[in-house]
A and B are shown apart, each in its own frame.
Chain A
Amino acid sequence: MSALESFIPSLVPEAQAQGLEVEPVEAFVLACIDGQSTVGQLASALGMAPTQLWQVTDRLARRGLLQLSSPQRDTFDAPPKEPGHAPQGSLEQAHVSGVRPVLEGRPPAAQAAELQGAEALELELRRAIVELYQRLDELDHYQLLGVEDGASKAEVKAAYYEAVKRYHPDRYYGKELGHFKAKLERVFQRFTEAHDTLTRKRSREEYDAYLTTLRRNRRTEVLLSHPAPDPAALRALRERLAAESLPPPPVAPRTSPEPPRPAAPPSHPAPAPPPPASQPPLDLKARRQALARRLGGSDALRRASIPPPPAAPRVSPEQATDALRRHFEGQQAARLQRQLGELERQVSDALQRDDPATALRTLRLLAQLKPEDPALEQRLAAVQHATDVKLADGLLVQADYEERNQRYAEAARSFERAARGKPSVKAFHHAALCLLKTAAPDYRQAARLARCAVELAPNDAELRLTLGRIFLEAGLLQSAEQELQRAAALAPQSEDIKLWLTRLRRS
């Protein structure tokens, strides 16, 4: 990605634009700046070439009307594996190697007190242990081991063996380890879990599928909860538009009403090639000046190559300005139209692929460009619903994995959310069951979920049994009795139900 495009323009709060001379295009750009979108994103949203927009923002910045902040590695910067697919604001891409989990750039999380108690270990090791220990739940297996998502079995093993040699308590046998012993054991256990999951074919497939689903679900959830245009989509759009290589817009007002000349002659230098993204954006000023010089140069070049305008009938300056605006607006409209068509196509493509999340994202973009279109609003609602349903399916897959791995609190949440998007007996029932297995379950919620399941399948004895059990555990004996009796009536042979009935009688 070009570094120029990733600068984020924002308004300078104290600057007064009123009373200053601004051109219409400048005013338009100023009005659209939200302080979040990058130059690239704005360019695609406004239907301008990024270079053109950059020029405008640069000009405004030099006049002190806006400021350009340097690009950050922001949340939509996708992990290397799956461009544009990382969940927003979560899963940090920090590469925590099993060997050196010291996280550069992070404030030292370990408090001084926590680092005491095992002076026989080097401070750096103690710090690494404490930090790793604190982050165990937040790292996925790959991050923990410090390997790529697609790492081979041998790579996983090598990373694991390294970690073992550093974190197994036996390495420090006979040394006073204090509270570090338990921490090392816990860290080791987590490494082993990661290794065991990733080195067995079946469990790795399951885990990978889970991780993909989890990431997709999180992304969709974010999408559904923030109706702002999705930056990743904006970027994709921008790239496509940039590929069309739009002709540069006129740089100075001309008095000719004629249509603009065709594209620049071959001698015209192409827009500056984007500097490598890895280059630190510190030389902002220098680059800006270079750009200005180049643009100035090209201007001169063009002026030199353009023949003088033929003598034209005199027109008043008002007329000329009007014509210019009309021309500019007409051009803008045409481009917008083309874009709308493109976006429309993307929406139907996505829907055809059964990818409502992408469709939703694109529709939102469309809605931005075409506000207050009732038909569009309707479609938006429909696609939003489709996304909900799709997310529900994803959440069900995620929940299954979580339940199988006895992560009941997470599973209960996933099942419950799945049921919200797409009510089903299974989702409601398992949400209730998992909830029961968590620490201090919310019985009211469990009962509500189980009741939903019962409503969907009133003749399923198992559901009634679950509901009865919840009542019993919550101490609502009468309701429990009622449900268990119904369950018994539906399935008179069930040993399970009989067992619970006897338990009920005894309470």
Chain B
Amino acid sequence: MDRVIGIDLGTTNSCVAVMDGDEAVVIPNRGGYKTTPSIVAVTEAGKRLVGHIAKRQSITNAENTVAAAKRLIGRKWNTAPVKSALMTCSYGIVEGPHGDVRIQLRDKTYSVPEISSMVLQEMRVVAEDYLGEAVSKAVVTVPAYFNDNQRQATKDAGAIAGLDIIRIINEPTAAALCYGFGKGVDKTIAVYDLGGGTFDVSILEIGAHGVFKVIGTTGDTFLGGEDFDARIIDWLVAGFQDEHQIDIRKDRMALQRLRDAAEKAKCELSSVRETEINLPFIVSTGRNEALHLQRSLSRETLERLCEDLIERTVDICRQALVEAKLDADEIEDVLLVGGMTRMPAVQRAVTEFFQREPNRGVHPDEVVALGAAIQGAALVDDKHEMILLDVTPHALGIMTFGSYFEELIPQNTTVPTSRAKIFTTSRDHQTAVKILVMQGESKQAGDNELLGEFVLTGLRSAPKGQVEIEVTFEINTDGIVSVHAKDLETQQAQSIQVTASSGLTTDEVQSMIEGAKEYMVERRTDEEFEGAKQSAETLLAELEAMLPEVDRVVGGADFGRDAVTKARQVIERTQAAMDRRDTAALKEQLEQLARTQRMFKGVVARGG
């Protein structure tokens, strides 16, 4: 039986977990951290960095460091979230060939799924290192409110990373799984998930026998910790502007420093009442004068700055209850998920709204990955008796005459499901109809997300309204949407599976998969070389430092001259191997270097 890992691919942080016996455990990365920043960078040398290393260099290499790529995944170029990202991102965003979004890093453009695939690949490597075996299957989580394009793009990211994503599940649902799995819970609960980039609320019924049934889910895929940070940045920028009449946002490095400082301050204010923000030499005025930014921020001020954001989450909670047809007092437990729920004002708002203390038993950063691992195990292993019944977060339908959206599957319908409706032609002698498959809540088709389209041809030529076309929507257990259209008269039929609209064509995904594979190999040898190079450089530096002294002590003797010459040769050969990036040769030279170093040390010690 294949092992399935669970990955929480977060906006800010990612986390990987696996089932160990009857319990899910989080896998720490090489640095010992249980979460890994979802940050990707490309160095000057063209090297890809992921996670903590990428985060560490994000200030000095802001233009080539991508954070929060999840906010862009599966989005179309000309949408509001992308416009807003354009304004605030320190890296370059350009339009892709299919109206999608591409990210410019140095001389290459990357699709968003490609960037996310680097994070997924990193998580996969973390798991493989820990398990000591190859991993090819994963359950990956997405915000419940993600639409189908966003889900599809996430799947593409998995494919590029060489991972078979056997199921995409919703983050709040995963959290509930972790909370209730194997504990005989029988309750109606709410999950409040405020992460770095997205906000979700889900209401679930957990039944005895291990059935988890989502009743309803709502959210906002553009509301999270990043928006809180942005409020602090605005406040800092405005203050600086007042004082110095300079917009520090213009400087990318300064902006990145502001971003870091804002987040740090926000987190600190969860435990202290007041904090100092100190950014020396933030900009230079051009008159050879550097300016510092120094301000103190109180918890009260932060709460005032973010009041409306919290209020928005509460409104969404209210909406979730209405849709689930429940009252707040029918909720028997409330889970807090996501790093932002550590903020006291958030906890207060949740407590007040649900009129109960939220559950403190789950780890806000880890539950989601744990839940994903549980779902993975339950699918492949009959031993775990657990069934997850999730809902479709958005309505599905087609565009009808006059650009109206005609809904077929309503929001919050339990999947798998299917619905059919009859439509007619809208023009006389119309012999083909175009079925535009859409997702969203607006009556206006244009406001909704286009998932795919196809054409049904060969209709009888007749006055409009006479030809009947039955359109059937189906969402199967794997969450795949398929749409069939049938001419009821001729039984002519046409259908599509909505799978390829993440902004990437199948061919593109294929070539990216190839690219990533090469990179995997390259990266492994690279690491070896880099390691050898680092050791060599250290040794070289030491040898160079000792050479004059060695020369002085043994220079007179023949054997001494020989030794020095030999040492020089070793140094040259090492240098050459480094230049050729020849790992094998370099490793060989390393041994020589080490021997030379031992000898030199002895000489210096005796001679001194």
A contacts, CB < 8 Å to B? 157, 161-162, 164-165, 168-171, 173-174, 181, 185-186, 188-189, 192, 196, 200, 202, 437-440, 472-475, 477, 499, 503, 506-507
Contact = CB atoms under 8 A, between A and B. Distances in A.
Contacts of A161: 207-209, 211
A477 to B, nearest CB: 8
A185 B476 contact: yes
Contact of A164 (B389, B417, B488, B489): B389
Contact of A168 (B207, B208, B389): B389
Interface string B139-157: 0000000000000000000
Contact of B387 (A165, A472, A503, A507): A165
Nearest to B464: A507
Contacts of B388: 170
Contacts of B211: 161, 164-165
Given A164-B211, A173-B379, A507 B428 contact: yes
Given A164-B211, A170-B379, A200-B325, A440 B466 contact: no
B380 A174 contact: yes
B470 interface: yes
A170, A174, A200, A202 — which one has the most chain B CB atoms within 10 A of its CB?
Answer: A170
A269 to B, nearest CB: 56
A169 B416 contact: yes
B422 A162 contact: no
A170 B422 contact: no
A477 B464 CA distance: 11
A171 B477 contact: no
A192 B385 contact: no
B14 to A, nearest CB: 25
B164 interface: no
A157 B380 CA distance: 26
A188 B416 contact: yes
A499 B385 CA distance: 55
B575 interface: no
20 contacts: A161-B211, A162-B209, A165-B387, A170-B378, A181-B476, A185-B416, A185-B476, A185-B477, A186-B418, A189-B417, A192-B417, A196-B414, A437-B422, A438-B422, A439-B422, A473-B466, A474-B465, A475-B463, A475-B466, A506-B427
A162 B378 CA distance: 17
A171 B389 CA distance: 12
A165 B208 CA distance: 11
B468 interface: yes
A158 to B, nearest CB: 8
A475 B385 CA distance: 58
B462 A475 contact: yes
Nearest to A157: B207
B207 A173 contact: no
A474 B463 CA distance: 8
B424 interface: yes
A165 B466 contact: no
Given A168-B389, A475-B463, A507-B464, A174 B379 contact: yes
A173 B380 contact: yes
A477 B387 CA distance: 55
B380, B385, B388, B422 — which one has the most chain A CB atoms within 10 A of its CB?
Answer: B422
Interface in B417-458: 417-418, 422, 424, 426-428
A68 to B, nearest CB: 50
A192 B205 CA distance: 13
A189 B418 contact: yes
A189 B387 contact: no
Given A173-B379, A174-B380, A188-B416, A507 B422 contact: no
Interface in B194-229: 207-211
A186 to B, nearest CB: 7
B468 A440 contact: yes
A439 B488 contact: yes
Contacts of B463: 475, 477, 507
Interface in B495-516: none
A190 to B, nearest CB: 10
A252 to B, nearest CB: 69
A171 to B, nearest CB: 7
Nearest to A169: B477
Nearest to B426: A503
A161 B489 CA distance: 41
A440 B488 contact: yes
A364 to B, nearest CB: 43
Nearest to B382: A171
Contacts of A474: 465-466
A164, A196, A200, A477 — which one has the most chain B CB atoms within 10 A of its CB?
Answer: A164
B397 to A, nearest CB: 14
Interface string B340-382: 0000000000000000000000000000000000000011100
Contacts of B468: 439-440
A90 to B, nearest CB: 25
Nearest to A168: B387
A146 to B, nearest CB: 16
A164 B210 CA distance: 10
A311 to B, nearest CB: 86
Given A171-B387, A173-B379, A438-B422, 11 more contacts: A161-B208, A161-B209, A162-B209, A164-B387, A169-B416, A170-B388, A173-B380, A174-B379, A185-B477, A202-B325, A499-B402
B429 to A, nearest CB: 10
Contacts of B207: 157, 161
Contacts of A503: 426, 464
Interface in B147-177: none
Nearest to B420: A439
B114 to A, nearest CB: 29
Interface in B477-500: 477, 488-489
B465 A170 contact: no
A96 B236 CA distance: 68
Interface in B382-425: 385, 387-389, 402, 414, 416-418, 422, 424
B105 to A, nearest CB: 39
B174 to A, nearest CB: 15
Nearest to A192: B414
A499 B401 CA distance: 11
Contacts of B428: 507
Contact of B209 (A165, A174, A188, A189): A165
A189 B418 CA distance: 8
B146 to A, nearest CB: 20
A361 B238 CA distance: 86
A122 to B, nearest CB: 13
Contacts of A477: 463
Nearest to B2: A174
B379, B416, B417, B422 — which one has the most chain A CB atoms within 10 A of its CB?
Answer: B416
Nearest to B207: A161
A173 B325 CA distance: 32
Contacts of A202: 325
A202 B389 CA distance: 23
A109 to B, nearest CB: 23
Contacts of B476: 169, 181, 185
A499 B400 CA distance: 14
A189 B422 contact: no
A377 B577 CA distance: 116
A450 to B, nearest CB: 15
B419 to A, nearest CB: 9
A39 B86 CA distance: 89
A181 B474 CA distance: 13
Nearest to A200: B325
A250 B464 CA distance: 81
Contacts of A196: 414
Contacts of A171: 387
Contacts of B385: 165
Nearest to B215: A196
A438 B421 CA distance: 9
A173 B426 CA distance: 43
Nearest to B401: A503
Nearest to B428: A507
